[in-house]
Amino acid sequence: MLPITIFRTDPDLVEKRLADKGETSAIAPLLELDQQIRQLTTELNNMRAERNSTSEEIARLKRAQADAGDMITSMRRLSERIKGEEGRLAELQTRLKAALELIPNLPHASVPVGKDEKDNVVVRHWGPAPDFDFKLENHLDLGTKLGLFDFDRGSKIAGSGFPLYTGLGARLERGLINFMLDFHVERGFTEIFPPFMTRYESSLTTGQLPKFAEDMYRTEPDELYLIPTAEVPVTNIHRDEILDEGELPRFYTAYSACFRREAGSYGKDTRGFLRLHQFNKVELVKFVRPDDSYDELETLTAQAEAILQTLGLHYRVLELCSGDLSFAAAKCYDLEIWAPGEEKWLEVSSCSNFESFQARRGNIRYRREADKKVDFLHTLNGSGVATPRLLVALLETYQTPDGTVRLPEVLVPYVGQKELK
RNA sequence: GGAGAGGUGGCCGAGCUGGCUGAAGGCGCUCGCCUGCUAAGUGAGUAAGGGGUGUUGAGCCCCUUCCAGGGUUCGAAUCCCUGCCUCUCCGCCA
């Protein structure tokens, strides 16, 4: 949520920055609403001041056993008017709040302006692209022959997009999760195992609701929302809290299953692991002082990259252009790994700085040491990383001519063997 | 699923026979005194948000906020209704 004050002070700039992000709705109606609210507030204030002072006068008269009949009758009329105006004000405020909840965050000044993913900037590559002297198989053929997963039966159980991992595949999936969690914990992140469903307010904090309700699974009688990422529960750990500045930064890592309806993306990447309704992910979340958040974004990205480096996977880092930024993000790096069988770059992580956008929505604050004032902190998160596409790149990168898959050294203890065969 | 308790400031916790209670008391925190240091003691201060004015962060004035929404009333933290949330006990269950 953006503070209404920035719309007042520099509406043209805000409108331009929103347009850079592809947000077309005009902000003039917002300012109009704000103007009405402030005018009405002033009028109400005056009426309330009168009511308050007269009430005190009445109390004084009553205590002195004097008659206050006239005052009471005139106050009756004033109170009626106040009640009416309060109703109007509440309605205006509800409208403004609802409108503000639908306005995305502004892109940071350093973000390249662009329309869509074609305008994203490749910041760096890591490692050489793997080189093969035999004909590659894609992950689906490989994994199916090795018995790692069974999409047909997954579909029978839950529908397409719900993968069923089997045998060594299930073991590998669990091993990947454990490896990543251990990795992050060793580097200073606190491990969290969060709820996989949240209430409405929690999903409002991170920005999924109200705008993207159709992307979420919702349970009918209880109105709980299945999380699309551990970002949601973990960010809400500190909702409605005030942290001491000395407690910052706080780093969390959490595994969760992630549930996404992927409404509107039917027919896109339907094959295999590229786009799923349920997948596993290890997430990184940071709560930091506002001054530190851009440095923290760099180290967060490096932390996610370190996973890929340790697994020896060729990847690249993209800086998202303004038009490709997600709703809540001010700046974002995507990590894409190379899948040699698919011959595609696959996104496995988005590392974002939300500045105070989520903190405002979730009322997550900190108390500054210098002046003891309370202010919104900054939140960041990044995947570290999502498993399905990681699995794709692993299988395709480490396949051998005889159809087996050699495992990177670090995974061997987690899987209990050196190769998949 | 059944029964009950409760939601007050950074925290704990009074108030709940309606009117100097924006809220006692305590803890914590800040500044000062005291002390060789620490502890103890002691004095003062200590919620947030908004509007106006000044004008640019000195101040001054006003309003709102005791879970949320509605009602009663000249006036509600205090009375009534609805909702949400938390906790306890019982039942069921991994």
Q: What's the CA A124/C1' B75 distance, rounded, in angstroms?
A: 68
CA nearest to nucleotide B46 C1': residue:
A372
pLDDT of residue A53: 87
**Å between A54 CA and B92 C1'?**
59
Whether A264 shows a pLDDT value over 70: the answer reads no
Rounded, the Å distance between the CA of A127 and C1' of B11 is 52
A86 closest-nt by C1' vs CA: B64
Run of H or E residues at A385? strand A378-386
A117-420 to CATH, choices 3.50.50.60, 3.30.930.10, 3.40.30.10, 2.40.50.140? 3.30.930.10
pTM, to two decimals: 0.92
**Band of residue A363 on the pLDDT scale cut at 50, 70, 90:** confident
The pLDDT of residue A329 is 96
pLDDT at A270: 67
**Protein footprint on strand B: which nucleotides are under 7 Å from a CB?**
10, 19, 29-30, 48-52, 57, 62-64, 69-71, 73-75, 85
Q: CB burial class (10 A; 0-12, 13-18, 19+) of residue A233?
A: buried
A307 CA to centre of own chain: 21
A75 closest-nt by C1' vs CA: B74
Q: In the structure, how far is the CA atom of residue A379 from the C1' atom of nucleotide B88, in angstroms?
A: 36
Protein residues closer than 7 Å by CB to strand B: A 5, 38, 41-42, 44-46, 48-49, 51-56, 58-59, 62, 72, 75-76, 79, 83, 87, 90, 199, 242, 371-374
Domain ranges of chain A: 4-100, 117-420
Q: How far is the CA of A13 from the C1' of B14 (A)?
A: 51
With vertex at residue A233, the alpha carbon angle to CA A378 and CA A154, rounded to the nearest 5 degrees, is 130
In this model, does residue A240 exceed pLDDT 90? no
- What pLDDT does residue A266 have? 63
For the segment A212-217, the average pLDDT, to the nearest whole number, is 92
Fold match flag (A4-100 vs A117-420):
no
Tell me which CATH homologous superfamily contains domain A4-100: Serine-tRNA synthetase, tRNA binding domain (1.10.287.40)
Tokens found for residue A173 = 């999936």
The residue with greater pLDDT, A114 or A239, is A114
Nearest-nucleotide field for A61 (CA, C1'):
B19
CA of A372 to C1' of B33 (A): 24
Phi first, then psi: give them for residue A212, nearest 5 degrees.
Answer: -115, 35
Residue nearest to nucleotide B75 (CA to C1'): A55
What are the pLDDT digits (tens) for A272-321?
A: 888 899 999 999 999 999 999 999 999 999 999 999 999 999 999 999 99
CA of A374 to C1' of B33 (A): 30
What strand order describes the sheet that includes A374-376?
Answer: A242-244, A365-367, A374-376
Mean pLDDT computed over A225-243: 92
| Partners of A315 in the β-ladder | A126, A337
- How far, in Å, are A163, A172, A332 from residue A148 at the CA level? 11, 9, 33
| Beta-strand relationship, A331-339 and A218-219 | unpaired
Å from A323 (CA) to B93 (C1')? Answer: 49
Per-residue confidence band for A173, with pLDDT thresholds at 50, 70 and 90 = very high
3-class DSSP string for A129-174: CCCCCCCCCCHHHHHHHHCCECHHHHHHHHCCCCCCECCHHHHHHH
Q: Are A315 and A338 in contact (CB under 8 A)?
A: yes
- Chain segment A52-73, per-residue pLDDT in tens: 888 888 888 887 777 778 888 8
